[in-house]
Amino acid sequence: MDAPSPTHAADDDAAGAFVPGPRARCPGGAGPLAGVRLAVKDLFDIAGYPTTYGNPDWARTHPVAAGTAPAVSALLEAGAELVGKTKTVELAFGLTGENVWHGTPRNPAAPDRFPGGSSSGSAAAVAGGLADLALGSDTGGSVRIPASYCGLYGLRPTHGAVSLAGARALAPSFDTAGWFARDAGLLARAGRVLLPTGESGALGPMLRVEEAWAGADPAVAEALRPALTRIEARRSEQAMPLHLAPDGVDALYAAFRALQAEEVWATLGSWVAQTRPRFGPGVAERFEYARTVPPDEVKAARGVRLAFQARVRGLLGGGAVLVFPTSPCPAPKLSASLQEQDRVRARTIGVTAIAGLAGCPEITLPLGRIDGAPAGLSLVAAPGRDRALLGLAESL
């Protein structure tokens, strides 16, 4: 693998996807990803380049990366051509994709709406045709939601399946490395490079998560139902209705929020307290909640997580697949107030927490549109069934 070499950003960033400044590039080579243009979220290290983590004070207080993250190296060694590092929400702590320091990437699929985050630049690069494959990270939905908002295929793998060495942490028991593509075949090819072999065998039956369908905007549910019907016809089976969360997805959101907050402060709190960094809208408030989250809420959330994880893994252990809308609503308009963005975030994480709390792989398929905006349909399998899930997406 050749060492990445700097170039200055040319006029090939119409989506505003890449981090400002010299562009990290590395020529492609032979291998299963030969000819594939790769973009990498700016929380993965690339030797010789700063990892800014979306925040100028983080960049100021951390040295240039001495080595390249193993997940990035694996893709480059498989022949991919590196075309640049992509923007992220500050410290990966947000879901709209906004970054006031580097500029918010444009959503090529719905230019009047947010691209989704925190892997906003990676999603924008692929949706805008600036890259074929992009590496991101997903803690609370940061690959799945931008994929849904931008009309892409996206995978959050089984927790721990892909190395996060050389990547900045947010909430380690939820953090995963994920990726985007415009077609299921390339998504699967990248999976064959990054994922362990895992269990073999076909997946099925499909279980329709009723809470997620009922909680989605009616327009989202209606836009995705024809896709579900087509999948049912192709597989010659009907999805069976399932009530997965007896206390509702709001309870899942509350548990995820408390657990994530505790881990965020344990991971980044010392740096925040010492550096007193500048933050964009909403980020400082999320860190303040992380600093002050009540211990009794965290303790209760641990119990919710253990019980939910056991329930989901028990249901999926035989090969069943959950199916539901990736996001309950389309991407918020760029004009949405901070309060509206927070409401969307809470509703959305209640659904993305299904795979997050259970540690399961989830793939989102771009199968619907609402008022010109994309909407994704998600499939979730048992831990370790990532390759089978990617194969199912390819077959559909």
Q: Is 358 left (phi over 0), alpha (psi -120 to 50) or beta?
A: alpha
Determine the distance from the C-alpha atom of residue 31 to the mean position of all C-alpha atoms in its chain, rounded to a whole number.
26
Distance separating the N- and C-terminal Cα atoms of the chain: 34
The one catalytic residue among 137, 142, 327, 378: 142
41 is catalytic: yes
Site of tokens 């590496």: 135
3 state SS for 71-100: HHHHHHHCCCEEEEEECCCHHHCCCCCCCC
327 is catalytic: no
Contacts 24+ apart (CB under 8 A), 97-101: 97/123, 97/124, 97/146, 97/149, 98/280, 98/281, 99/54, 99/280, 100/280, 100/281, 101/54, 101/55, 101/56, 101/280
378 is catalytic: no
Residue 99 one-letter amino acid = N
HSE (side-chain half, CA atoms, 13 Å) at 181 = 21
The packing angle between helices 184-194 and 70-77, to 10°, is 110
Tokens of 162: 């892909």
The one catalytic residue among 41, 73, 120, 122: 41
The one catalytic residue among 73, 118, 122, 137: 118
Active site residues: 41, 118, 142
